[in-house]
Amino acid sequence: MNIFFDTEFTGLHKNTDLISLGMVDENGRSFYAEFTDYDKNQVDDWIQKNVINNLINDSNKIDYESDNWVVIGDKDFICTMLKKWLKEYDSVQLVSDVCHYDMVLFIDIFGTAFDLPSNISPVCYDINTDIANLCKCTIKEAFDITRELLIDVEIIGDKHNALYDAKVIKRIYEITHDQG
């Protein structure tokens, strides 16, 4: 099963902290988490405006029962819930977009790559190369292309919300792999 995912975090540096995680599988089943234990001192004006302001931050929306989980808590709690959500799959290939930070931070939820659940591939598929091929440009040029310009359906939500971005990644993957 391909699971498309995105993370939001406190900055592009090695000591960054996760703020949120969004995941959606090929069938639309989703997992969205907001971390309560990130270092708020690392939040700059851009992160506040574009990431923090797009969080749910609403304990009334917490849901572990449906196909669309919403989890709010610290890293340990989110790890526990994520393991429960992921155990539904026999084999998972993670797919993201310019996933270098995303994959490292995803692995860090569990501890190390050796601590990942056994059904999760420790290697992430990156769609930035697919975007470069689609647009006939370099992967560096593809990095700067606004992703919403590439999709053919409206996705409800806000850019830089991890679940919204995961849904955009999913749609780009489908387009670039002729799956709809």
Convert the pLDDT of each residue in 12-32 to its tens digit. 999 999 999 999 999 999 999
What residues make up the domain containing 131? 2-176
Number of structural domains the chain divides into: 1
The DSSP call for residue 84 is H
pLDDT class of 105 with cuts at 50, 70, 90: very high
Give the pLDDT confidence score for residue 161 in this predicted structure.
94
Is the pLDDT at 41 greater than 90? The verdict is yes
Give percent of the chain with pLDDT exceeding 90: 88
Q: What is the pLDDT of residues 73-103, one digit of tens each?
A: 999 999 999 999 999 999 999 999 999 999 9
Which amino acid, one-letter code, is at 36? T
Q: Residue 79: which CATH number?
A: 3.30.420.10
Cβ contact 157:114 at 8 Å = no
* Residues 6+ away with beta carbon under 8 Å from 25: 1, 2, 3, 4, 89
pLDDT class of 179 with cuts at 50, 70, 90: low
Collapsed DSSP state (helix, strand, coil) of residue 112: coil
Q: What is the pLDDT of residues 42-78, one digit of tens each?
A: 999 999 999 999 998 877 788 888 899 999 999 999 9
d(C-alpha 5, C-alpha 164), whole Å: 10
Which amino acid, one-letter code, is at 132? A
pLDDT class of 5 with cuts at 50, 70, 90: very high
CB atoms within 10 A of CB 162: 27
pLDDT class of 113 with cuts at 50, 70, 90: very high
d(C-alpha 61, C-alpha 57), whole Å: 9
Residue-averaged pLDDT of the chain: 95
pTM of the model: 0.95
* CA-based end-to-end distance of the chain: 17
CA atoms within 13 A on the CB side of 112: 1
pLDDT class of 36 with cuts at 50, 70, 90: very high
Structure token pair of residue 143? 């990095």
Collapsed DSSP state (helix, strand, coil) of residue 136: coil
